[in-house]
Amino acid sequence: MKKKTASRRSKDEMKHEAILKAATKLFLKNGYTNTSMDAIADLARVTKQTVYSHYQNKDTLFTKMVASLCEKQAPSVAQLEASTKPIEELLYEIGLVILDMITSKDVLAATRLVIAEVYQHHHLAERYYEAGTQNLILLLSNFLEQQNKRGQLHIPDTLSAASYFIAILKGRYYLRMILAIKPIPPKEDKEAHVKETVQIFMRIYGGSEPMNTKSIF
């Protein structure tokens, strides 16, 4: 009985992943409006009923796609919190992972998709922000809180600081990538930009009396 249960669970997981993989491919290629649950089922080689048994609706599937794209490349904050490296090195590692994630081909495509669909499906923008950017800011804020407790930092509002870190990280080049004006920068350019971002961040928040920012955006 245990073997049968395990086998059934494994098949369910495989179907779950196949549906998500198919949905991701179709969403990024055709957009949200032009992707149907029927098409997702066909590409995943499952029935439409099976798709709905795993994902309640297309919105749920889209949200899972965004979360999955971010989770695959998100920084391992728990691992970094256990590290004894200087705070500048930790921020550099986090910054590089975040920059790689937000400038990856699939995440850029997902961002463009949401922008294109925002007036027809405004709720997609909210789901995208919550599953992507908001979650990333919370992860970084929690990391900064831990560094406060360790005495590495003394930031009054870590949520605001996390928001500014990501804003500086994006810089002016990121929007041009979204608009497909500029290509994804090479590794060495990313590394140089992250180093500069960390320097700016530490000048604002690294002292014993850091700036008490209160970002409302």
All structural domains of the chain, each given as residue ranges with its CATH number in brackets, are 2-55 (1.10.10.60), 65-205 (1.10.357.10)
51 and 25 in contact (C-beta within 8 Å)?
no
What is the mean pLDDT of each successive set of 10 residues along the chain, which is 217 residues long? 54 91 94 94 95 92 86 70 85 93 92 90 87 88 93 94 95 92 94 97 92 77
Supply the pLDDT for residue 156.
94
99 and 194 in contact (C-beta within 8 Å)?
yes
75 and 102 in contact (C-beta within 8 Å)?
no
Supply the pLDDT for residue 77.
66
* Cα–Cα distance measured from residue 139 to residue 136, given in angstroms and rounded to the nearest whole number: 5
| Other Cβ atoms closer than 10 A to 201 | 21
* Cα–Cα distance measured from residue 133 to residue 163, given in angstroms and rounded to the nearest whole number: 9
Supply the pLDDT for residue 2.
46
Supply the pLDDT for residue 135.
87
Model-level pTM? 0.84
Nearby residues of 75 by Cβ (< 8 Å), 6 or more positions away: 93, 94, 97, 98, 139
Supply the pLDDT for residue 9.
59
Supply the pLDDT for residue 215.
72
